[in-house]
Amino acid sequence: MEIYRGRRLWVEKRGFHLPDGREKEAIVVHPGDAVVILPHEGDDILLIRQWRSPIGTYIFEAPAGTMEEGEDPMETAKRELIEETGMAAGSMHALGYIYTTPGFTDERLWLFEATDLVPSREHSPDDDEVIEPVRVTVPQIREMIRTGEIVDAKTICIFYRWICERSDE
């Protein structure tokens, strides 16, 4: 049963079966899938400092955004990177996906590494976003995560996934 439908998400109450056969009900939030991008040139990483109204402060995070209807994750990543940083990627590499909070939502975040960055004005920033691109180094981002200066989960996840992939090379 649909409880709420808005511009960005919808909420439903639905029944489901546990693996042992018991029936339960749950509230499930459906925000739609999104992307997260880690743009970098070598050990220089391009983050954003963004105002987040729900928490009433600026936070450091990787560029990210919601997929539009019919858009595939790679298209979204290319568009969002330009909208949020003013940079386009000559190369994008998929790093898989994560579930944000599977206890109450089915949202997936598709992760991308972006390299060969060049300035672009192909897409305009969203008018409800207050964003400032910020360049940091790998040692700086490690320290920012360690000290709690970066508290955004998706940013910590993509950085860790990227570091793990680099260590396999």
Check residue 142 and give its pLDDT. 97
Check residue 169 and give its pLDDT. 61
Residues recorded for the chain: 169
Q: What is the location of CATH 3.90.79.10 in the chain?
A: 32-167
Name the class of domain 32-167: alpha beta
Residues with pLDDT less than 50, the chain: none
Is this prediction's pTM over 0.95?
no
